[in-house]
Chains A and B, each alone.
Chain A
Amino acid sequence: MTATAPDGARSFRWRRRSVLPGFGLSLGYTIVYLSLIVLIPLAGLGIRSASLGWDQFWAIAFDRRVLLALQLSFGSALIAAIINTVFGVLVAWVLVRYRFPGRRWLDAAVDLPFALPTAVAGIALATLYAPNGPFGALLDDWFGLRVGFTSFGVVMALIFVGLPFVVRTVQPVLEEIDRETEEVAATLGARRWRTVTRVIFPALLPAILTGFALSFARGVGEYGSVIFIASNLPFQSEIAPLLIVIKLEENNYAGATAIATIMLVIAFVMLFVINLLQAWSRKWFGHE
């Protein structure tokens, strides 16, 4: 942190000198802020987790209830992310390529899960998919499918919260794809399906994977919207974040810490994968 001194940076070779002022100030402020808000609290979790010792950690992590909760969180997040990837690409395609009345407002609606508090989404979804709710009753009548208060409900909630990620990562890349490349493919005799699968899809792939990973990561950690629609029964429809809350309410700090550590490590891995995907995309396709 010696670099916080404005002219101290001059002797360092780890940055390109610039005529613009404020490097020291903005770097210092950013690092202090991030340290107080992020690094120190995270270090606290790390220390707490390390003090558990392996035996205790494994005992908690391999508890059947914990495993089932993690399995539910990851499994439903995976299913939701897959569904979101398919429909998200479709929605991005429609928004970018087609012109229809109300397109701008539909585009805005995609951001709704970003802006709508999860608790609001949670009670709304729970009401919709409850056995006597408008959608819940229909699904039950037509398909005999129970969504509310089952693990289907968890997936439904995760689709809601994860949807914008795929659309918003694919959309700008799709906008950037030059129509001329498609026209070239057509002049070279490619049929539309071939153009889409061989020319457009490969260019979109990094963005699609990034969107999938973001949607998945969000789903694994989601809490607010899920707890209202799931029945939250142990061993059945209890997600991992809920289990952390339950352990905390039981004053079982060790249990909460162990589960949180597992989730945090996975979050880091997801971030790393997303960064790799973006670096790959930048390198090969020149876009973010």
Chain B
Amino acid sequence: MSEAAATRQQRKVRQAIGEGPATRFVLLTIALAFLGLMLVAPLLVVFVEAFGRGLGVYFQALALPDTMAALQLTLLVAAIAVPANLVFGVAAAWLIAKFDFKGKSFLLTLIDLPFAVSPVVSGLIFVLLFGANSALGPWLEDNNIKILYAVPGIVIATIFITFPFIARELIPLMEQQGSSEEEAAVSLGASGWRTFFQVTLPNVKWGLLYGVLLCNARAMGEFGAVSVVSGHIRGVTNTLPLHIEILYNDNKAAAAFAVASLLAMLALVTLAVKTLLEARFAGEIAAQRRH
């Protein structure tokens, strides 16, 4: 066969199992354009608007007392919600990935619930539960416990919105790993905790880290549910996302974008870590497939 004929033959084979170069180019261009317009452009706008009027204005906006208060509250909320959901996520993943029992799929549906429920509805259910005209309301008031329009309410709403993230990250990972390493550990005499900390945890640590980061990003960024339960009290119950809304509606767009850029950077760090972890994972998977 001549070289030209061989090349022709090769091209024919490639076309049968893939697309031609022209089709590839068109598909790739459409995908890039779509992602560029829909995802990258909004992200760029945040930073352009935030830094557009110079670094001085940027840091001035961040240094406002209300902004600092919002930042502190956001950090506090995340510091409570993320560890709580970490313990839950690990317990739920262990339960679902390692055991067979009736009602498992119902439990999974329950864990998925916050993904499907509107954040506003999530906030509302806590308003109805703790509000003045609820069953609990008068009792809370008598005992001088403030949940709604105060920090505890924000924390609870945030926990509700973010509790699936760590569990959802761990469950498929632990299911895919199977149980034979754990079985080997207990057959060698290891206790349950030893098996968990020395065998299970090292195998899922990177997935767990990403779950924690994503949970944290969502906890710091939650808007709808927190908006409903917070009562928008400036300097007291304003988290960063609520603060962004107030600044934006007050026509302080530059300040709003300055604050927004903080959360956008958090999102970017989260995604960067995920990408790096996946690169690492891929290496490990390749090592496993070598034999």
Contact = CB atoms under 8 A, between A and B. Distances in A.
Complex: A in contact with B (CB within 8 Å)? yes
A124 interface: yes
Interface residues of B, number: 107
Contact of A123 (B34, B187, B257, B266): B257
Nearest to B46: A124
Contacts of A220: 118
For the complex of A and B, the 4 pairs showing the least CB-CB separation, nearest first, are A117-B221, A221-B118, A21-B192, A15-B101
A257 B124 contact: yes
Interface string A189-214: 01110010000000000000000001
Interface string A65-84: 00000000000000000000
Nearest to B179: A20
Contacts of A87: 30-31, 34
B99 A94 contact: no
A42 B125 contact: yes
Contacts, number: 302
A110 to B, nearest CB: 7
Interface of B: 13, 15-19, 24, 27-28, 30-32, 34-35, 37-43, 45-46, 49, 87-88, 91-92, 94-95, 98-103, 105, 107, 109-121, 124-129, 131, 133-135, 156, 159-160, 163, 172, 179, 182-183, 186-187, 191-192, 195-196, 214, 217-218, 220-224, 227-228, 240-242, 244-245, 248, 253, 256-257, 260, 263-264, 266-268, 270-272, 274-275, 278-279
Contact of A264 (B121, B227, B244, B253): B121
B92 A94 contact: no
Interface centre among A223, A242, A253 (most CB of B within 10 A): A223
Query: On chain A, which size bracket covers the interface?
Result: 35 or more
Given A30-B107, A118-B223, A221-B119, 8 more contacts: A14-B101, A22-B192, A41-B128, A87-B34, A94-B27, A109-B35, A115-B267, A117-B263
Contact of B124 (A19, A91, A248): A248
B115 A214 contact: yes
A93 B18 CA distance: 11
A128 interface: yes
Contacts of B17: 179, 182-183, 186, 192, 195
B79 to A, nearest CB: 17
B267 A112 contact: yes
Contact of A15 (B100, B135, B160): B100
B39 A163 contact: yes
Contacts of B111: 34
A117 B45 contact: no
Interface centre among B15, B91, B103, B182 (most CB of A within 10 A): B91
Contacts of B159: 37
A191 B275 CA distance: 36
A121 B128 contact: no
A34 B95 contact: no
A277 interface: no
14 contacts: A18-B98, A30-B95, A108-B274, A112-B43, A115-B221, A117-B223, A118-B221, A120-B260, A124-B43, A221-B117, A221-B119, A244-B121, A245-B228, A264-B121
B118 A120 contact: no
Interface in A102-143: 104-121, 123-125, 127-128, 134-135
A236 interface: no
A26 B94 contact: yes
A159 interface: yes
B241 A224 contact: yes
Contacts of B116: 217-218, 221, 267-268, 270-271, 274
A29 B263 contact: no
A235 interface: no
A97 interface: yes
A5 interface: no
Given A104-B279, A275-B105, A91 B260 contact: no
Contact of A223 (B119, B131, B279): B119
A123 B98 contact: no
Contacts of B94: 22, 26
A29 B94 CA distance: 11
A269 to B, nearest CB: 9
A124 B236 CA distance: 26
B34 A115 contact: no
A223 B241 CA distance: 13
B39 A223 contact: no
A3 B153 CA distance: 31
Contact of B34 (A91, A116, A118, A272): A91
A44 interface: yes
A223 B49 contact: no
A256 B179 CA distance: 47
A86 B159 CA distance: 34
Contacts of A174: none
A263 interface: yes
A125 B42 contact: yes
